[in-house]
C-alpha cells in the first residue's frame, strides 16, 4: 500500500471547504493531519466568514481532525507572515501539501502557489476546474448541510442570512450572482452531514451590517458593506 502524503486542509467552515474536505477524505490520497483557519486576534472569529472560534473547534471535533489557528492582527501579523509560520510548523511534521476549496478564481490559486511553492509546499485544489453549477450539484448530492451567515450587501440583502443551501435557494438568487458565491457574494457555515460525526447546534441571534476596508493591488483602499449573522452557540 502506497504511503499517503501528509497535508493540511485550509478550512473556512463553509460549504465549498466542507465539500472539498469530504472529497479529499474519500479519495484517501492524503493524510490530513490538521485543519487550518485564519482568525482575527481582535474578534476570535474566522477571516471573512466570521465564524466564532468555538464553532470552528466544534466543527473540527465533529469531523475528527484537529484545528490549527493562525491568529492575524492589523497591527502585529499579516496573512503572509501567519501562513509562513504555519508552514514551518507543519513541515516539521512532514507535511508537503496544503489543500484548499477554491473553484475557479485563477488569481487566488496563483497567489497561493506563489507564496507556498517557494516554501516547499504544493497547493492542491480538489474542486478546481468544475463550473459553479457542477459544484453546486455535487454539494446537494454530498448530504452536507449549510446555512448562509454572511452576504455582500450590494449583492444579496439581509433576508438571505440564515437561508439553507438547497435547490430552492438556487432558484431564489438574483441574476448575476454566482451560484456558489465564488465571487464573494455570500459565505456559509456547514453544520451537519456525512462529514460530521455529530450535528453542530447553533442559532442566528440577529443580522448586523458591517463594513470592511480592503487594500487593492494598486494600493487604493476600498470599503465593502456586508450583512453578517450574529451567532449564538
Q: What is the pLDDT of residues 161-174, one digit of tens each?
A: 999 999 999 899 99
Q: Are 232 and 207 in contact (CB under 8 A)?
A: no
Q: Are 60 and 66 in contact (CB under 8 A)?
A: yes
Q: Are 230 and 201 in contact (CB under 8 A)?
A: no
User: What is the side-by-side order of every strand in the sheet holding 5-10?
Assistant: 67-72, 30-40, 5-10, 97-99, 122-124
Shortest CA distance to 188 belongs to which of 212, 159, 165?
165
Q: What is the pLDDT of residues 202-219, one digit of tens each?
A: 999 999 999 877 665 566
Superfamily of domain 5-124, CATH level 4: HUPs (3.40.50.620)
Q: Are 148 and 160 in contact (CB under 8 A)?
A: yes
Model's pTM, two decimal places? 0.92
User: What residues does each domain of the chain span?
Assistant: 5-124, 144-232
Per mean pLDDT, which range of 22-31, 132-141, 218-227 is the poorest? 218-227
Amino acid at each position: 500500500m502506497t504511503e499517503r502524503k501528509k497535508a493540511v486542509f485550509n478550512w473556512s467552515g463553509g460549504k465549498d471547504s466542507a465539500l472539498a474536505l469530504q472529497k479529499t477524505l474519500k479519495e484517501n490520497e492524503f493524510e490530513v493531519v490538521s485543519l487550518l483557519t485564519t482568525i482575527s486576534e481582535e474578534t476570535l472569529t474566522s477571516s471573512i466568514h466570521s465564524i466564532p472560534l468555538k464553532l470552528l473547534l466544534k466543527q473540527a471535533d465533529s469531523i475528527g481532525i484537529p484545528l490549527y489557528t493562525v491568529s492575524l492582527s492589523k497591527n502585529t501579523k499579516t496573512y503572509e507572515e501567519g501562513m509562513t509560520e504555519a508552514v514551518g510548523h507543519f513541515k516539521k511534521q512532514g507535511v508537503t501539501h496544503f489543500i484548499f476549496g477554491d473553484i475557479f478564481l485563477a488569481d487566488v490559486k496563483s497567489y497561493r502557489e506563489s507564496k507556498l511553492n517557494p516554501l516547499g509546499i504544493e497547493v492542491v485544489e480538489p474542486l478546481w476546474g468544475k463550473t459553479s453549477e457542477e459544484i453546486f450539484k455535487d454539494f446537494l448530492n454530498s448530504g452536507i448541510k449549510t446555512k448562509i451567515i454572511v452576504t455582500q450587501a450590494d449583492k444579496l440583502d439581509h433576508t438571505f442570512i440564515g437561508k439553507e443551501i438547497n435547490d430552492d435557494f438556487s432558484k431564489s438568487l438574483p441574476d448575476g450572482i454566482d451560484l456558489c458565491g465564488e465571487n464573494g457574494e455570500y459565505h456559509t457555515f456547514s453544520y451537519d452531514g456525512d462529514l460530521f460525526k455529530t450535528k453542530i447546534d447553533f442559532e442566528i441571534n440577529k443580522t448586523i451590517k458591517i463594513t470592511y476596508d480592503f487594500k487593492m493591488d494598486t494600493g487604493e483602499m476600498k470599503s465593502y458593506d456586508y450583512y453578517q449573522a450574529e451567532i449564538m452557540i
